[in-house]
Amino acid sequence: MLFSNHSSLRGEWKPHQRLLASELVLLLSVVPVFYHYVAHRDSNVCELLYIATGDSRLAARLAALSDELSANGVSVIFAIDNFVARCA
DSSP the chain: ---S-HHHHHHHHGGGHHHHHHHHHHHHHH-TTHHHHHHTT-HHHHHHHHHHHS-TTHHHHHHHHHHHHHHTT--HHHHHHHHHHHH-
What pLDDT shows up at residue 7?
55
What pLDDT shows up at residue 88?
58
pLDDT tens for residues 41-64? 888 888 888 888 888 888 888 888
pLDDT tier, 31 (very low <50, low <70, confident <90, very high otherwise): confident
What pLDDT shows up at residue 1?
42
Q: How is the chain split into domains, by residue range? A: 9-87
In this prediction, residues 69-73 reach a mean pLDDT of 83
User: Residue 68 pLDDT more than 60?
Assistant: yes
